[in-house]
Amino acid sequence: MLALTGTPSTVVLLVVDDAPEAASLRAEMVTVLRQSLARELERWEPGWWRPVDWSIVVAFPSAEGSARWYGPADDIALRLVASDVDDDAIAATFDALASVTPPGSATSHYRPLATARDGIDLLRAVRPPADERERALLASLPVLDDEDGVALVIASERDDASEGAVESYALPEDPPWVQATVIFASDDDSCLAPTPGQGDRLAAWGGGNWSASRFGYPCGLAKLTVDGVLPHCCDSGPVILCASQPLARRESGAAACEVVVRSREVDVPCDATRGWSDADPLFGEDFAGRYRRCAMASVPDEDLATCTHDPLCPGCASGHCPDERPASIDHCRYRGGHPTLRFVGGAVAGFGGALEIRCRLEP
């Protein structure tokens, strides 16, 4: 039995300096976020679909109340959900982000820390929405569970002027998890010390939260671009399965395997675009309750050679095939075994559930 996690929902809360003088910083943060999210896609098995559930909420610390927030309820392009995302959809999301401008209702009170903590509490349902605008914002976002996360990014050329003590805005330490990045003005070569009078509270806040990363601006922007701003999932890499003996083949060259998907969405039919069809029996039950059984097909014969050997598997249909990629052979040889199956297309990409795998091995 192989357990798989589904596509986590990622909400980015970008608390950004809303002063006219900070326009360059706002533009640079669009680039940083785009590169960070694109990097997450590169960590998946290259032959899979690229499933995403991304939402971006921009927060303006000088505004009041619900006027601080701008998200998918204001521009639907700031929520990107796809079973196999393409570059045009990603471009549309970040074009929408680049077009967001601070509201004209900004005040002289600049509170990035208070805004960040209040936004986190709203997104995590710690506090209820205060008005119709906040209700619309929450309705446009995913409901976060323990597997999901919030990427909080505070980017500012000025220091925080929130009323409370810095420690009163500490991040929560229970799920849904919050991964924080704080960018403050710094001319220091190490990028760790704020420019005097411009980033003291923000730097102190970043240093006081275990999940926060600190970057000086502009000196640390290059490192931030490399590191990214998203929490990294432990299991988003390729699924490489090893066995003690080589995998047996059918006459066509397909793997001598039967693969069944166990889906907890019992009312959702088996998805043919994923290479799934109804298994026999169609339903089962275990300690967690009832599940639907879907048989996973081998990729079509014309895709077998490409799927078996090519890491990218361009044009391959969804399904499984024998795995003879050099990286898989090395991975399994190191463990004293042989690679077995590979899954491509939508066979398992973004699927949260379990697989029943039965294969015949060579003697």
Domains along the chain with CATH numbers:
2-227 (3.40.50), 242-359 (no CATH)
pLDDT at 103: 86
Backbone torsions φ then ψ of 148, nearest 5 degrees: -95, 175
Q: Are 152 and 102 in contact (CB under 8 A)?
A: no
Backbone torsions φ then ψ of 326, nearest 5 degrees: -55, -40
pLDDT at 189: 67
Taking 80 as the threshold, does the pLDDT of residue 279 lie above it? yes
What pTM did the predictor assign? 0.83
Taking 60 as the threshold, does the pLDDT of residue 234 lie above it? no
pLDDT at 237: 54
pLDDT at 233: 43
For 195, the token pair is 């420019």
Taking 70 as the threshold, does the pLDDT of residue 351 lie above it? yes
pLDDT at 148: 81
CB atoms near residue 234 (< 10 Å): 6
Taking 50 as the threshold, does the pLDDT of residue 2 lie above it? yes
pLDDT at 118: 97
H-run or E-run covering 174: none
Q: Are 172 and 179 in contact (CB under 8 A)?
A: no
With a pLDDT cut of 90, the percent of the chain lying above it is 65
Confidence of residue 239 (pLDDT cuts 50, 70, 90): confident
Condensed to tens digits (0 to 9), the pLDDT of residues 87-118 reads 899 999 999 999 999 987 555 789 999 999 99
* Strand pairing class (149-155; 276-286): unpaired
Confidence of residue 317 (pLDDT cuts 50, 70, 90): very high
Q: Are 339 and 323 in contact (CB under 8 A)?
A: yes
